[in-house]
């Protein structure tokens, strides 16, 4: 996509034209440079104008290998996965039924959904993810959304967890997925919320900006409009997400004082030097963690959480 194509219309709501907004530094030490963003005057969503380097999803924080502290995080990650299942359950999506995790990573959520009684499968474009899932006894279909083989109308539920923001054409992806769902089937989407308090507080260094990998930076209005344009009616929107929100707020604030953007995140991903001035700043800022937890709770109540989960029903 050229910059001129990108500025025509908003990929979320279809409105526009997009207008120049701000230039932000690459969010990953492995992807330096400045990236121009344009914003939609109608829904407030934004897009990253420059293309994404071909290997961006294999480099830096996405480089693979076990993060530091992975063992400690495992029970927490399982709890986050169960919460995603409760969003489905509250909208009437309960096992048994066929569920597809789209962009399944290493298959952790597929395993959790199977344990809960779903007939769950996943598609994942990266060989690394497919190989990782095999160690859990899960065979993912190695495919992107545009090439995956899924029978039309075959799914009771699909999940798209922090995937949509990585796609240059999110509408085309939703068209495909809506076609895989039976009428009345449910889709759960997780995306960063550009309309959040932490997006504003973090500015160009907002943790969930992840430029240039994130192509569209959605607001809730943008996600809702996008879903409706592709035959999916939003039924619930959740702002209280312990998985991403307190850390995103804390890391965004601390990033204002570190040289490396999101230093702790990148250090855990073995993507930033551990012995550094940034480490001292980060340790000092740990006292702010409870403040970030309480603040995101308050922001969720005012529906301005750092990331959101939206459940939609295929009409
Ligand atoms: Zn828009």
Q: Is 41 a residue whose pLDDT tops 60? A: yes
> Which of 131-135, 181-185, 249-253 has the lowest average pLDDT?
249-253
> What percent of the chain clears pLDDT 90, i.e. is strictly above it?
71
53-57, 214-218, 258-262 — most confident range = 214-218
Distance 13 CA to ligand 1 centre (A): 4
Cα 103-118-233 angle, rounded to 5 deg: 65
Distance 302 CA to ligand 1 centre (A): 22
Distance 223 CA to ligand 1 centre (A): 9
Q: Is 7 a residue whose pLDDT tops 60? A: no
Res 55: pLDDT:
75
Name the band, by pLDDT with cuts 50, 70 and 90, for residue 3: very low
Res 2: pLDDT:
46
The residue among 269 and 64 whose pLDDT is bigger is 269
Give dist(CA 287, CA 292) in Å, integer: 10
Distance 159 CA to ligand 1 centre (A): 23
Two structure tokens written together for 46: 């934004």
Distance 208 CA to ligand 1 centre (A): 19
Give 75-94 pLDDT, tens digit per residue: 888 888 999 999 999 999 99
Residues making up the chain, counted from first to last? 315
Give 62-76 pLDDT, tens digit per residue: 777 777 777 777 888
Distance 42 CA to ligand 1 centre (A): 5
Q: Contact 96/89 with Cβ under 8 angstroms? A: no
The residue among 281 and 308 whose pLDDT is bigger is 308
Distance 255 CA to ligand 1 centre (A): 28
Give dist(CA 97, CA 132) in Å, integer: 25
Angle between helices 70-90 and 108-115 (to 10 degrees): 50
Distance 145 CA to ligand 1 centre (A): 23
Long-range pairs, 57-62, Cβ under 8 A, ≥24:
57/126, 57/166, 57/213, 58/126, 58/128, 59/28, 59/30, 59/31, 60/28, 60/29, 60/30, 60/31, 60/266, 60/269, 60/271, 61/28, 61/30, 61/265, 61/266, 61/269, 61/271, 62/28, 62/213
Distance 228 CA to ligand 1 centre (A): 13
Res 148: pLDDT:
97
Distance 174 CA to ligand 1 centre (A): 16
Distance 222 CA to ligand 1 centre (A): 5
Give 89-128 pLDDT, tens digit per residue: 999 999 999 999 999 999 999 999 999 999 999 999 999 9
Distance 196 CA to ligand 1 centre (A): 16
- Which of 79, 67, 66, 11 has its CA nearest to residue 40? 11
**pLDDT, mean over the chain:** 92
Q: Is 6 a residue whose pLDDT tops 70? A: no
Distance 218 CA to ligand 1 centre (A): 8
Give 154-208 pLDDT, tens digit per residue: 999 999 999 999 999 999 999 999 999 999 999 999 999 999 999 999 999 999 9
What SS3 class is residue 185? strand
Name the band, by pLDDT with cuts 50, 70 and 90, for residue 245: confident
Give dist(CA 311, CA 235) in Å, integer: 6
Give 11-20 pLDDT, tens digit per residue: 999 998 999 9
């Amino acid at each position: 996509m050229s910059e001129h194509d990108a500025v025509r219309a908003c990929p979320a709501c279809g409105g526009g034209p997009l207008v120049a907004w701000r230039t932000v530094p690459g969010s990953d030490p492995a992807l330096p440079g400045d990236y121009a963003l344009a914003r939609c005057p109608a829904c407030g969503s934004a897009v990253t104008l420059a293309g994404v380097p071909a290997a961006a999803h294999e480099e830096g924080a996405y480089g693979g290998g076990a993060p530091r502290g992975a063992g400690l995080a495992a029970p927490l990650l399982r709890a986050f996965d169960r919460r995603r299942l409760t969003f489905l359950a509250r909208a009437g999506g309960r096992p048994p039924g066929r569920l597809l995790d789209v962009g399944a990573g290493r298959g952790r959520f597929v395993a959790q959904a199977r344990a809960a009684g779903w007939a769950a499968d996943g598609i994942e474009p990266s060989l690394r993810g497919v190989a990782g899932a095999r160690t859990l006894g899960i065979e993912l279909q190695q495919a992107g959304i545009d090439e995956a083989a899924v029978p039309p109308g075959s799914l009771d539920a699909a999940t798209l967890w922090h995937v949509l923001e990585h796609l240059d054409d999110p509408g085309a992806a939703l068209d495909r997925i809506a076609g895989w769902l039976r009428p009345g089937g449910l889709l759960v989407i997780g995306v960063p919320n550009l309309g959040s308090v932490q997006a504003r507080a973090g500015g160009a260094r907002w943790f969930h900006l992840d430029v240039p990998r994130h192509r569209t930076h959605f607001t809730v209005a943008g996600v809702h409009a996008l879903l409706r344009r592709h035959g999916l009616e939003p039924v619930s929107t959740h702002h209280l997400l312990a998985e991403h929100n307190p850390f995103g707020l804390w890391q965004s604030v601390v990033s204002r004082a570190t040289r490396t953007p999101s230093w702790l995140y990148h250090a855990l991903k073995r993507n930033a030097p551990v012995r550094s001035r940034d480490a001292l700043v980060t340790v000092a800022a740990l006292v702010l963690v409870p403040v970030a937890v309480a603040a995101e709770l308050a922001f969720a109540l005012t529906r301005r959480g750092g990331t959101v989960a939206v459940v939609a029903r295929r009409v």
